[in-house]
Amino acid sequence: MKFKTLAEYFDTIESASSRLKMTELLAELFDKSNKDEIDKIIYLCQGSIAPRFKGIDLGVGEKFVIKAIALATGHEPKEINSKFKKSGDLGDIAQELLKNKKQSSLSFSELSVIKVFENFIKLANVGGEGSQDSKIKLIAELLSSASPVEAKYIARFPTGKLRLGVGDPTILDALSVYEKGSKEMREELERAFNLTSDLGLIAKKLFENPKQLSKITPIPFSPIRPSLAERMSSAEDIFKKLGKCVIDSKYDGLRMQIHKKENEIEIYSRNQEVLTKMFPDIVEEIKKLKEKELIFEGEALAYDEKNEKYFSFQETIRRKRKYDIKQIKEELPIQVFLFDLLFLNGKNYTQEPYIKRRKTLEKIIPKKNKMIKPSNITTVESPKEIHEFYEKCIGKGLEGIIAKDLNAPYIAGARKFSWIKLKKSYGKVADTFDVVIVGYYLGKGHRAQFNFGGLLTAVYNKEKDKYETIARIGSGFSEEEMRTFEKELSKIKLKEKPKELDSEIKPDFWVSLKYVITVSADEISLSPMHTCAKDSNPNSKGFALRFPRMLHIREDKDPKDATTTKEIKEMYRLQKN
Ligand code: ATP
């Protein structure tokens, strides 16, 4: 496929306002693709060149793209920079400058999707001395051969700001529409995606032979999308729902999915980021296990040996930062509480009942291992026993409990009642909220010095593949946090409202959807201003958080992992009860 065709589709998709239209356009685009390029087209639609778990980062700053545009168009970097300060979009600038370019370049050749993709791969791989110049040349080479609309997307891509507004659910719908003319195949595609986290791979399989899809099983080093827990507010409700069940301790740590094949180990976060380098001690421990192939899950917590206490998630995650790993290994010794087994020596365990997965897991882990151990569980036959175990967990400083259905399979990528969490109460709602930052405000009074006065935040409406506002957050920030927020958010400011957001409120600045924060609130209330769960009826009200307070950044969640509109509705129902 010519890259121009793809760029033209990107352009129409970008201006399409409804999800239905976007799906149709994507399906049409897929119809024009062949099986050797479909995976690449999918990754490009996702604004990437590989699934996240490959850990590939183009790592190109705006400065380089500005230099590349200058090289390709003959304009001064200074001029481009000042245009960028005004418009905030390098894509539009590249498009405009190429439209006005009088002479076509001598090196002009028509770009193919494969050529552009290959240059982006090279871009990701160049390193060492002179790598900055090589990166600029690679982008400039593409821009020199590009038409204005191609230039728009080539310039946007390396900095990670494609702005199509297309999420994974829309791509899944479009693949189904491409194949069947309807959403009939969506469930089957989603199942395969949940087991591999790789939409490019799924699309390739679909193009090669749709029958392959139903045969997909977990693949070591392709993380399985995590199973999630529903919430309930009492031991009685949980027992009513599950009857006899296992109650697991809920650790407030860092979720890990560990993959092993022979001596190769990889550790993935909840959102498929590669964490392996940060945990050499865990890797060594896993290497000792005699099973050849393994995928299992656990929660990692830093342990304070002196005081015999677990550190919080915030402390544990310090390991993620680029400190000296050797030093931090001693400062923050880690323990992993394993709670599920998903794959063992070529066998897919996700379809096995929980109790079988758990028993097999216990057989694999040596009992005396100090660093990796099965989580602490108990089997219960009454609400009273659930309550007792819950109290014990809270007494030990844990977050709560997770009840597990004895017979349920591992439900990848979804929140179902096979796991039910019961957490400590924060205010009237027995949970915190993970919300996406969509904008911020300038400070007034004392906060004027920080140029920061609070955040506008949103939750994710998975059904609509859109974000909806739920809270303006003005409290819970330390001075240090205000400075950091201003510094980091000003880097991702947008001139306009992000396309994937529904909002009736306008903050001082919009930002790209990147950061998820955990907040507490007194309760969920109704609001005419916020769009969470609001329908098109002019008198309809949305949900809002009452007295929201910032707790911390949730580094292991992407915007699409934020609390969903559906969860808010359910939490509102629980609160009313
Ligand atoms: P939360 O903010 O409550 O951790 P979450 O949105 O990250 O929620 P949930 O599905 O709501 O995810 O809760 C499940 C999370 O609890 C898992 O992602 C995991 O990180 C953590 N967890 C801690 N202990 C356990 C356990 N024993 N079994 C399963 N998950 C556990």
Identify the band that residue 198 occupies on the pLDDT scale cut at 50, 70 and 90.
very high
Q: What is the pLDDT of residue 445?
A: 80
Q: Say whether 367 sits in a helix, a strand or coil.
A: coil
Q: What is the mean pLDDT of residues 534-540?
A: 86
Place of tokens 């409700």: 237
70 alpha carbon to ligand 1 midpoint, in Å? 48
Given ligand 1 and candidates 224, 225, 227, 228, which is best to mutate, with the most ligand atoms within 8 Å of its CB?
228
Nearest CA to ligand 1 atom 28: 339
Q: Which of 117, 115, 70 is nearest to 90 (CA)?
A: 70
Q: What is the mean pLDDT of residues 125-140?
A: 87
Domain end (from 125, 159, 193): 159
Let me know whether 460 and 420 are in one domain: no
Higher pLDDT, residue 324 or 99: 99
257 alpha carbon to ligand 1 midpoint, in Å? 13
CATH assignment at residue 455:
2.40.50.140
CATH assignment at residue 37:
1.10.3260.10
Nearest CA to ligand 1 atom 4: 252
C-beta separation of 360 from 348 below 8 A: no
C-beta separation of 411 from 418 below 8 A: yes
For ligand 1, what atom is nearest to the CA of residue 431? 3
Let me know whether 239 and 118 are in one domain: no
Q: What is the pLDDT of residue 229?
A: 96
For residue range 153-180, what is the model confidence (pLDDT) as tens digits?
999 999 888 888 899 999 999 999 999 9
- Please check whether residue 172 lies inside any domain of the structure: no
Q: What is the pLDDT of residue 355?
A: 97
Q: What is the pLDDT of residue 56?
A: 87
Q: What is the pLDDT of residue 323?
A: 62
For ligand 1, what atom is nearest to the CA of residue 248? 27
376 alpha carbon to ligand 1 midpoint, in Å? 14
- Please check whether residue 356 lies inside any domain of the structure: yes
Let me know whether 460 and 371 are in one domain: no
Evaluate if residue 426 carries a pLDDT over 70: no
Let me know whether 421 and 511 are in one domain: no
- Please check whether residue 351 lies inside any domain of the structure: yes
C-beta separation of 255 from 226 below 8 A: yes
Number of domains in the chain: 3
Nearest CA to ligand 1 atom 24: 250
CATH assignment at residue 409:
3.30.470.30
Q: What is the pLDDT of residue 210?
A: 94
Evaluate if residue 219 carries a pLDDT over 90: yes
Evaluate if residue 270 carries a pLDDT over 80: yes
For residue range 79-114, what is the model confidence (pLDDT) as tens digits?
999 999 888 889 999 999 988 775 555 555 689 999
State the chain's mean pLDDT as an integer. 91
For ligand 1, what atom is nearest to the CA of residue 227? 10
- Please check whether residue 360 lies inside any domain of the structure: yes
C-beta separation of 375 from 310 below 8 A: no
Exposure on the CB side of residue 9, measured as CA atoms within 13 A: 24
Among 375-379, 392-396, 502-506, the minimum mean pLDDT is found in: 392-396
Q: What is the pLDDT of residue 154?
A: 96
Report d(CA 560, CA 455) in Å as an integer: 18
Domain end (from 102, 130, 159): 159
C-beta separation of 439 from 457 below 8 A: no
The angle at the Cα of 390, spanning 401 to 338, to the nearest 5 degrees, equals: 35
CA gyration radius, the chain: 25
Largest CA distance in the chain: 80
- Please check whether residue 302 lies inside any domain of the structure: yes
Among 102-106, 253-257, 328-332, the minimum mean pLDDT is found in: 102-106
Told to judge if 250 belongs to the known catalytic residues of this protein, a careful annotator would answer yes
- Please check whether residue 133 lies inside any domain of the structure: yes
Let me know whether 249 and 392 are in one domain: yes
In what helix (H) or strand (E) does residue 483 lie, and over which residues does it extend?
helix 479-491
Report d(CA 107, CA 91) in Å as an integer: 21
250 alpha carbon to ligand 1 midpoint, in Å? 7
Identify the band that residue 4 occupies on the pLDDT scale cut at 50, 70 and 90.
very high
Let me know whether 402 and 436 are in one domain: no
Q: Which residues line ligand 1 (CB under 6 A)?
A: 226, 228-229, 248-251, 255, 270, 299, 339, 375, 402, 421
Let me know whether 328 and 444 are in one domain: no
- Proportion of the chain above pLDDT 70, given as a percent: 97
Nearest CA to ligand 1 atom 16: 250
C-beta separation of 527 from 541 below 8 A: yes
For ligand 1, what atom is nearest to the CA of residue 375? 27
Nearest CA to ligand 1 atom 12: 228
Let me know whether 412 and 519 are in one domain: no
For residue range 449-479, what is the model confidence (pLDDT) as tens digits?
888 999 999 999 999 999 999 999 998 888 8
Higher pLDDT, residue 452 or 320: 452
DSSP strand pairing (309-310 vs 293-304)? antiparallel
For ligand 1, what atom is nearest to the CA of residue 249? 27
Let me know whether 462 and 482 are in one domain: yes
Let me know whether 264 and 148 are in one domain: no
DSSP strand pairing (293-304 vs 254-261)? antiparallel
252 alpha carbon to ligand 1 midpoint, in Å? 8
Choosing from 250, 404, 421, 499, the catalytic residue is: 250
For residue range 271-318, what is the model confidence (pLDDT) as tens digits?
999 999 889 999 999 999 999 999 999 999 988 777 777 887 777 877
In what helix (H) or strand (E) does residue 114 lie, and over which residues does it extend?
helix 113-125
Q: What is the pLDDT of residue 105?
A: 53
Nearest CA to ligand 1 atom 20: 255
Which residues fall within 8 angstroms of residue 468, CB to CB, at 6 or more apart?
A: 458, 459, 460, 461, 501, 502, 503, 530, 531, 532, 533, 534, 542, 565
Let me know whether 423 and 444 are in one domain: no
Nearest CA to ligand 1 atom 25: 250
Evaluate if residue 8 carries a pLDDT over 90: yes
- Please check whether residue 206 lies inside any domain of the structure: no
212 alpha carbon to ligand 1 midpoint, in Å? 32
Domain end (from 122, 143, 159): 159
Let me know whether 484 and 421 are in one domain: no
Q: What is the mean pLDDT of residues 310-331?
A: 74
- Proportion of the chain above pLDDT 90, given as a percent: 73
Given ligand 1 and candidates 231, 232, 233, 299, which is best to mutate, with the most ligand atoms within 8 Å of its CB?
299
Q: Could you list the residue range(s) of the whole structural domain that residue 56 is in?
A: 3-159
421 alpha carbon to ligand 1 midpoint, in Å? 8
315 alpha carbon to ligand 1 midpoint, in Å? 17
- Please check whether residue 183 lies inside any domain of the structure: no
Higher pLDDT, residue 536 or 108: 536
Q: What is the pLDDT of residue 60?
A: 84
Q: What is the pLDDT of residue 141?
A: 92
